[in-house]
Amino acid sequence: MKLAVVGATGLVGSEILEVLDEHQFPFDELLLVASERSAGKKLSFKGKEYTVIGLSQAVSEKPDIAIFSAGGSTSLEWAPKFAEVGTIVIDNSSAWRMDPSKKLVVPEINGKALRIDDRIIANPNCSTIQMVLALAPLREKYGIKRIVVSTYQSVTGTGKAAVDQMMAERKGEKADMVYPYKIDLNVLPHIDVFQPNGYTKEEMKMINETKKIFDDPSIQVTATTVRIPVMGGHSESVNVEFKKDFDLDEVRELLANTPGVVVQDDPANNVYPMPLNAHKRDEVFVGRLRRDESQPNTLNMWIVADNLRKGAATNAVQIASYLVEHSMV
């Protein structure tokens, strides 16, 4: 097994390496890959020093699997080149997610859709992953008509430069501006670029990816995505209208029995999910479960997950593990 991590010097790339170690992913050879300007840098992993290589050299090495976290333009250019030499690419960017010829995979939900000839596999958007994982068992039981989601997303979703901006502002220092406004002590209802319909690209990702992952274009989804000055994970307020009525105790039981989901729902004792506690965790945390009393068959949920983990690195490594376990590599 020859494994490549493309974008190894970035926030998600670093997290991928941590998850590979924690999950004890089996590989014989590891290639750490980044842009040509980062080639030659040294990175340590599991007590061994690696020299970062460029993309051209990585393609010539013909890895079995390449986990990409290097941005959409890099993926559009280089993923097909890796695929041509037989590499299976698992891509964290938005480049391939809505391509009808590519699978958009959360292993617990639709891993069974993967086939041995899939050469480019898309990792969904971080905010989409945590929502659909929590909704999947409920959709199976009750059916879903409509989802209204508002997100409260960590600055880590933008990358290291955004974290640096927030921390500099917090110290009262001048910061390189990644966002159009100050982020510390502020809230920005603006993630990614605005589209002609008034939604942002991030909001449209959640809408379109949810339908694709569930393979159900009839689900109505609307989203408002918001950046807040926290680290540790993304939070989501989700209002979901089911096709059938539900029992709250049964909802809790279904979620508690879902792999990768942890129920934290004891408001009497101030127990509910928070990014502070989700940080560096692979699970998706769900709480504030309550009936929407304004209309029938509708549930309110609060969903939190570390966006660099299940929202990116962990999901990608889980896809790779699924391929290995099912002898697709």
**CATH number of domain containing 216:** 3.30.360.10
Decide: helix, strand or coil at residue 324: helix
Same domain, yes or no: 208 and 111: no
The pLDDT of residue 36 is 85
CA gyration radius for the chain?
Answer: 20
Burial 152-167 (b: 16+ CB within 10 A, else e): bbbbbbbeeebbebbe
With a cut of 90, say whether residue 29 has pLDDT above it: yes
Is 23 a residue of the active site? no
Banded model confidence at residue 60, pLDDT cuts 50, 70, 90: very high
**Residue 82 belongs to a domain with what CATH number?**
3.40.50.720
Is 126 a residue of the active site? yes
With a cut of 90, say whether residue 155 has pLDDT above it: yes
With a cut of 90, say whether residue 37 has pLDDT above it: no
Same domain, yes or no: 286 and 258: yes
| Count of domains forming the chain | 2
Which residue range is the domain that position 240 belongs to? 127-307
pLDDT tens per residue, range 221-261? 999 999 999 999 999 999 999 999 999 999 999 999 999 99
Q: Which of 23, 190, 234, 326 is catalytic?
A: 234
Give start and end residues of each alpha helix (H) in 72-149. 72-84, 107-110, 126-142
Same domain, yes or no: 131 and 279: yes
Q: Which of 126, 190, 279, 326 is catalytic?
A: 126
Q: What is each CA distance from 62 to 177, 195, 278, in whole angstroms?
A: 39, 38, 36
With a cut of 90, say whether residue 210 has pLDDT above it: yes
C-beta separation of 297 from 88 below 8 A: no
Same domain, yes or no: 196 and 209: yes
Same domain, yes or no: 102 and 66: yes
Residues in the chain: 329
Same domain, yes or no: 38 and 159: no
- What does the DSSP assignment read for 255-292? HHTSTTEEE--BGGGTB---HHHHTT--SEEEEEEEE-
Same domain, yes or no: 134 and 77: no
The pLDDT of residue 261 is 98
- Cα distance between residue 220 and residue 208, in whole Å: 10
